[in-house]
Structure 1
Amino acid sequence: MNIARVGNDRMDGAEDRAQAIHDHLRDAIVDRRLAPGAKLSESEVGALFDVSRTVARSALQMLAFEGLVRSERNRGAFVANPSPEEARQVFASRRLIEPAIATEACARVTQADIEAFAEHLREEARLLSERGPNARRAEIKASGDFHLLLASVGGNAILKRFMEELIARSSLVIALYGKSGASSCGHGEHEGILAALRDRDVQRLSGLVLHHIDHLEADLDLRPKDGLALRDALQMPG
């Protein structure tokens, strides 16, 4: 499906145009139509969407803030390309941090927290039943948000900030390299984690969290794949 040029859309201004470009590029990255390491030239992005380089730069900066794009001085912007070793380090870090968070959460969890988790799991189940171009991205975000909710219940602001960075990096790795079909399994594991948290069973909760992280990492396919050119990845007319 071809997309209309952003510059021809009726938007309020440059910020809206930049957000629309961000959304298109993000979809192409998450869907792996743009390969890790692909160059994102401000001039090419601007030309494709019929906007100034300033607007294109703003869109790329949004993506860089989310960790989907990296900017290199005097070279430009590129689709983030976490190496297999970086991916392993992300999940190794999660194994060190999340059991400690789980221990704190068991000591602090309230009935209101349990209800918030249950509502989140209902939303995860709803997303799993949906289809469409945004479904996979929404599932990944919801899965990450579950772990951030656990960190919030843990009450340690420093660990929560660490988790925010780790979840952002994990989501990028999963979006780029995750195999299809694992989301329902992850949702089931979240249900088990919530049951252990409800029972305040620290040992079981920590074990389930570690098993879940192992499962997420095992689902990665880090073999190199060829991507499309920028114009083709965005499905824009020649």
Structure 2
Amino acid sequence: MLKTSGKSRTAGQPPVQQSPVYLGIRSAILGHSITPGTKLPEDELGDIYSVSRTVVRAALQALALDHIVSLEPNRGAFVAKPTRLEAREVFEARSLLEPKVAAMAAEIAKPADIALLERHMEEEHAAVAAGKDGEAVHLSGQFHVAIAEIANHSIYTDFVRRLCSRSSLIVALYWRRRDTICEHHAHHELVKAIAQHKPKDAAELMVSHIVDLFSGLDLSEREPVGKKLSDILKV
């Protein structure tokens, strides 16, 4: 098996990806506070965050590289709106990549890693119980990224992070049932397999889990209802 250095990419992220503008917009989008297709005017965002349009533009460009924002010539920036084809492709990619990642995590997971995953599950479960579905979807994505980080493969982790971010937009657009949010028992079984160092079981559970998530989507177009940016991005 190929080995990696194990060094996290997070520590080497460009400053723009640690800025309040980037983090605030990203969190609002992935938490479903800002809906797909919403326009993101540079001047309004600059007023909200009390920064220049140059700073806002840099954040939007970074978000575009993450496929969270779409930059359209002569029109500006919009929250990305994945097509039905993109939705299928994203979940197909996840079904190929994440089982491998889960198996790798199961081979080397330490007690501290399992404790981290359990905390993720508790936070996600609390969000679901409180009816905070957007937050629960975001936390679910973080859970999957955490598994990739445990696998200690920086390239896979980067791919999983980007795929989970795009999945959040897909759920916002095409969600048809509430249990599309990662079910608590599905994550529990995954953590159990990883904790018991059972790579094959972890991989099989991840495949089943992602297929179930995909089955909860309605890939017919519908328009989400948005809110004012100034009401969402309060700082």
TM-score bracket for this pair, using the shorter chain length: 0.7 to 0.9
What are the residue-to-residue correspondences of 1:95-174 with 2, within 5 Å?
Answer: 95-131=95-131, 135-174=132-171
Cα distance in 1 between the residues matched to 2:159 and 2:113: 21
- 2:174–2:221 contact (8 Å) kept in structure 1: no
Match of 1:209 in 2: 206
- SS of match in other structure, 2:116: helix
Q: CA RMSD in A?
A: 3.5
- SS of match in other structure, 1:115: helix
Query: Which of the pair has more CA radius of gyration?
Result: 1
More deviation in 181-190 or 160-169? Answer: 181-190
Moved over 3 A (4+): 18-23, 25-29, 36-43, 45-49, 55-68
- SS of match in other structure, 2:97: helix
Question: What CA deviation, in whole Å up to 9, does each residue of 1:162-216 have, x standing for no partner?
Answer: 1111111112212332234216652220001111112222222111100110111
Give 1:234 shift.
Answer: 2.1
- 1:29–1:176 contact (8 Å) kept in structure 2: no
- SS of match in other structure, 1:233: coil
Aligned length: 212
Identical aligned residues as a percent: 31
Q: Match for 2:195 among 195, 198, 205?
A: 198
- SS of match in other structure, 2:70: strand
What TM-score comes out, normalization by structure 1 length? 0.72
Give 1:73 shift.
Answer: 3.0
- 1:102–1:206 contact (8 Å) kept in structure 2: yes
Match of 2:89 in 1: 89
What TM-score comes out, normalization by structure 2 length? 0.73
Q: Match for 2:227 among 225, 229, 233?
A: 233
Whichever residue aligns with residue 76 of structure 1, its letter is: G
Give 1:94 shift.
Answer: 0.9
Question: What CA deviation, in whole Å up to 9, does each residue of 1:58-99 have, x standing for no partner?
Answer: 775575465432112333222312111111111111111112
Whichever residue aligns with residue 98 of structure 1, its letter is: E
Unmatched tracts of structure 2, length 5 or more: 1-18
- SS of match in other structure, 1:78: strand
| Change in CA separation of 1:92 and 1:46 when aligned onto 2, cut-off 3 Å | closer
| Change in CA separation of 1:213 and 1:179 when aligned onto 2, cut-off 3 Å | same
